[in-house]
Chains A and B, each alone.
Chain A
Amino acid sequence: MGHPLLTQPLLTAILVLLLTAPVSGLVLDGYDFNLRWQPPLWLTLIAFCIHWMILLFKRWRLGEKTGKPSPWSRVSSWGSRPSVHRLAFFVLPVVGLVLPFFLGKYGLTVAILALIYVLLALGLNIVVGLAGLLDLGFVAFYAVGAYGYALGHHYLGLGFWLSLPLGALLAACCGIVLGFPVLRMHGDYLAIVTLGFGEIIRLVLNNWMDFTGGPNGLRVDFPTFFGLEFSRHAKEGGIPIHEFLGIDYSSNTRNIFIYLVLFLVVLLILALVSRLKTMPLGRAWEALREDEIACRSLGINHVTVKLSAFALGAMIGGIGGVFFAASQGFVNPTSFTFFESALILAIVVLGGLGSIPGVMIAAVVLTVLPEMLRDFSDYRILVFGLAMVVMMIWRPQGLVRARRPVFQGRKA
């Protein structure tokens, strides 16, 4: 036997070479193939290095005194310090409100998308992070919100402001209808049923040509502000907002408006969720996640508690959907694939299951970063997958650990 520090990574390297040689080394070309030397060799080298580094790291950790806080724990403890929270509480809303006026057209689109994902992540965080129900079909509620607005606009002529509460309500109802029969089953079955439900919704939207327009999608009107329109020339009888305010027409005005409304809604939801977390309902969610049998024997009605988490999460997802439709001006089923569910789940997992600040940071990072790294967009999903695996193994609590609500009694 050779040195274990070398033989083990060598074995890994040989295995990886065997695995990757056919798939990435021999590229199919019709019924023939082309040979490519580099990709499998690179992958093999990377595998060797990673395994070697892991072994070195383990050895180094053995030599270290245990109990020393790792740099990561310092970061997350910094994130949970009350003074930091108070600072963030005052600074972030101001920054968020001022931000859109300094962004260009493209920056605004990205910012709106990031906020929509923050909303979705907050919603899924209730279901997966707090209540511990793995929902793989969260995109269904997103789709219900978006299509609720689009269909309501198309058939009933509903505007944005009416669609917002209606879409939220509709999504919440869907959550209850789906949740009621499903919540009796345990974790993994729930995951599969929600996945099936998400796919059913997408397939129906895709196939029901007469009603939803199928793959062609539906056009959506942009929102108005107390009857003021954001277009250059208003429709009959309407006043465009730039004439009303006496400013020059800019196509950004509409996006700034959507951003501001969305930002306020995010703040509202944020306040709601962080309040709920410390209220009896939120504590029941977390308790049920930890031990269902104990909770039921203590008299917690597990169906209602889970259902409330499901409905609330669905409602937030629905609101995200309405905003998505409003900002795009157009919806079609390709925006609601399983990958979208997986992406939102990745955000929640990477941010830290149950941790509200973590989830929000992850949502912003995971939407802004891919936009900045357009050149690597081929590898985006691959990296998400890798991050999910690495995170679960290395730091299952996420980047920012969820804080337990702690109550300090007043000093007498």
Chain B
Amino acid sequence: MVATMAAEIFAQQTVNGLILGATYGLIAIGYTMVYGIIGMINFAHGEIYMVSAYLAAIFLAVLHFFGLTSVPLLLVAVLLATVLVTALYGWFVEKIAYRPLRHSTRLAPLITAIGVSLILQNYVRIAQGARSQGMPSLLQGSFILPVGDQGGVVQITYVQLLIIIVAFLSMAVLTFIMQGTSMGRACRATEQDRIMAALLGIDTNRIIAIVFVIGAAMAAIAGVLVSLNYGSFDFHIGFITGIKAFTAAVLGGIGSLPGAMLGGLILGLAESFFAGFVNSDYKDVFAFSLLVLVLIFRPSGLLGQPQITKV
């Protein structure tokens, strides 16, 4: 009986961890791509994710108001609208707060990023109020799978399945864009050597803007899916989730796309097991400790290349 219980918890926490990890991975893409291309931690990225959760709920309410009731259509429309506006946010933030600082010290963009995240957080708080908001559950129901031979079960809701599917689909599309299109090639070239890429006729400022847009779009996908899954959010969610997604990016090796997804999954699983088997009060402490330890002992991450400073 005890063994069944443990197996059941294990299976359920694995499922939860994978789903958590998939969303961390999606957000981590924004950190990892921006870091890869301009070597800066986009501190405001977590807040972009928070804004996207609000946008999703707002668009859902508006579409519902205009009488759209078909669930698949609603999902697609909300996802598209949210991704579009969030991407605009990403682009705007880059244009206003980071582009003017392209040639200043390393600290400057980091400080403006903190400024931007304070601005976004409080803008949303003032506009929408400080209380937490709800998201109607569009997809109800779940699959129930048996675990072991003593009748244990593990539950996967439709939303969770949707998260996994959308996360991996968007990863696949992104990988195709980066590897198979001329724009992706320009991105990779800019990442390797910005000056050389500019000399070869690539508009590096445009490429950097595109990277911010891609990052924001991925965060928006995560925002829609997570708020559908949990059903509630507030203006604080960006901070903690942002740091955890950054941890995922560092864990996988910052600058590497598959690394972001891998790091996200590992972090999600680790956090979920820690919460399930050790102590759920300290799961954030655990995630932060993991971040500190990874940065100290393996700053290049699992799939990243160590950085060599040239004089």
Contacts and interface: CB of A to CB of B under 8 A. Distances in A.
Contacts of A33: 58, 61-62, 65
Given A189-B299, A379-B126, A392 B111 contact: yes
B128 A28 contact: yes
A370 interface: no
Contacts of A346: 115
B119 A389 contact: yes
Given A19-B92, A293-B311, A185 B288 contact: no
B128 A23 contact: yes
A382 interface: yes
B53 to A, nearest CB: 11
B128 A196 contact: no
B150 interface: no
Given A15-B88, A18-B88, A33-B58, A23 B115 contact: no
Contacts of B55: 22-23
A392 B291 CA distance: 28
B41 A393 contact: no
Interface residues of B, number: 67
Residue of A19, A32, A342 contacting most chain B CB atoms (<10 Å): A19
Given A345-B111, A392-B115, A28 B51 contact: no
A185 B112 contact: no
Interface in A15-33: 15-16, 18-19, 22-24, 26-28, 30-33
Interface stretch (A102-110, A162-170, A197-205, A220-228): A197-205
Contact of B122 (A15, A39, A385): A385
A362 to B, nearest CB: 14
Interface string B55-94: 1011111101100000000000000000001001100100
A386 interface: yes
Contact of A385 (B89, B96, B117): B117
B58 A132 contact: no
- Chain B CB within 10 A, most for which of A22, A32, A382: A22
Contacts of A330: none
Contacts of A128: 107
B243 interface: yes
Interface string B215-240: 00000000000000000000000010
Contacts of A384: 115, 118
B282 interface: yes
A188 interface: yes
A216 interface: no
A342 B118 contact: yes
Contact of B57 (A18, A28, A192): A28
A226 to B, nearest CB: 42
Interface string B195-217: 00000000000000000000000
Contacts of A187: 106-107, 110
Nearest to A378: B126
Contact of A23 (B51, B62, B111, B282): B51
Interface in A310-351: 338-339, 342, 345-346, 349
Give the contact-size bracket for chain A. 35 or more
Contact of A197 (B62, B96, B115, B292): B292
A27 B129 contact: yes
A270 interface: no
Interface class of chain A by DSSP? helix
A79 interface: no
A159 to B, nearest CB: 32
A181 interface: yes
Interface string B114-138: 1111110111101111000111100
A188 B110 contact: yes
Given A22-B85, A349-B111, A30 B134 contact: yes
Contacts of A389: 96-97, 112, 115-116, 119
Contacts of B246: 192
A33 B291 CA distance: 39
Q: Of residues A28, A134, A204, A381, which shows the largest number of chain B Cβ atoms within 10 Å of its Cβ?
A: A28
B151 interface: no
A204 B285 contact: yes
A305 interface: no
A131 B126 CA distance: 37
Contacts of B107: 128, 132, 134, 187, 353
B149 interface: no
Nearest to B59: A22
Interface in A249-283: none
A195 interface: yes
B273 interface: no
B104 interface: yes
Nearest to B284: A203
A207 B286 CA distance: 13
Contacts of B106: 187-188
B110 A396 contact: no
15 contacts: A18-B85, A23-B58, A24-B127, A24-B128, A186-B309, A189-B299, A191-B110, A196-B291, A293-B309, A342-B118, A379-B126, A385-B118, A385-B122, A392-B109, A393-B101
Top 4 closest A-B pairs, CB basis?
Answer: A385-B118, A388-B115, A24-B127, A385-B119
Given A33-B58, A381-B118, A388-B115, 6 more contacts: A24-B128, A185-B295, A200-B288, A207-B282, A384-B115, A388-B114
